[in-house]
Amino acid sequence: MLRMLVVGEFDPEFVPHQKTDAALSHSARLIGTPVEACWISTAEIDDDRLRHADGLVIAPGSPYRNMEGPLGAIRFAREQGVPLLATCGGFQHLIIEYARNVLGFADAQHAEYDPNASRLFIHRLECSLLGRALEVRLKPGSLACRLYGATTATEQYYCNFGVNPEYVDLLASQTLRVTGSDDEGEIRVVELPDHPFFVGTLFVPQLRSSENQPHPLVTGLLRAAAAR
């Protein structure tokens, strides 16, 4: 049995949360391995819970109750080689964690928490992506591209925040790789190539998962967790 820790304040009425549980179930059946999805509030994360997880999902639904919770979980997964998929708000916090703890910008901030911060790595988008389905271009040879088996995909979004273009070059200056973008080159997928599975998507892949077609990124996460 795989124990997947889902970080976020679970709301049974919030569609991305419903779809997260469903997507894990779809992929679990595909790979033939039972999965227990354990939701945990961002205010209740501790090292013991993280150590006992086979993989992590940083769920949509920010602003979180406690910003430091998901940031700590993301750092733990990054440093300890724990498979992680961060989507929508989770992706945004992955960017903040990387900016703070790898690039060294301790003041890196998210506009949803502090819109007046001096170093907004995540800013409010000029055009909302909420409810939109858009094409994503995937970098050939990347993990995302291999999992999709294609260089493009159409995915759904549920957010109003994204990566500040001012910091794109900085984000890509170390080990983090931008492996998916939109037609204008805006970041949509990032990953760490030397990690078992460390992927962030601004879109919500869970929304496109079904029993007949489990989402390849969720399936990839579970396969990596099982291999670990």
Residue-range domain boundaries for the chain:
2-227
What is the per-residue pLDDT for 184? 82
Q: Please name the residue that has the structure tokens 């703890």.
A: 101
Q: What is the pLDDT of residue 135?
A: 96
At 35-75, the pLDDT tens digits run: 999 999 999 999 999 999 999 999 999 899 999 999 999 99
- What is the pLDDT, as a whole number, of residue 210? 97
* pTM of the model as a whole: 0.96
- What CATH number has the domain spanning 2-227? 3.40.50.880
pLDDT number for residue 189: 98
Per-residue pLDDT, 183: 86
Using only C-alpha atoms, the chain has a radius of gyration, in whole angstroms, of: 16
Q: What is the pLDDT of residue 79?
A: 98
End-to-end CA distance of the chain: 13
DSSP secondary structure letters along 112-134? TT-TT-S-EEEEE-SS--TT-EE
Closest by alpha carbon to 215, among 3, 11, 23? 23
**Within the chain, which residues score under 50 in pLDDT?**
none
- Residue 40 has what pLDDT? 97
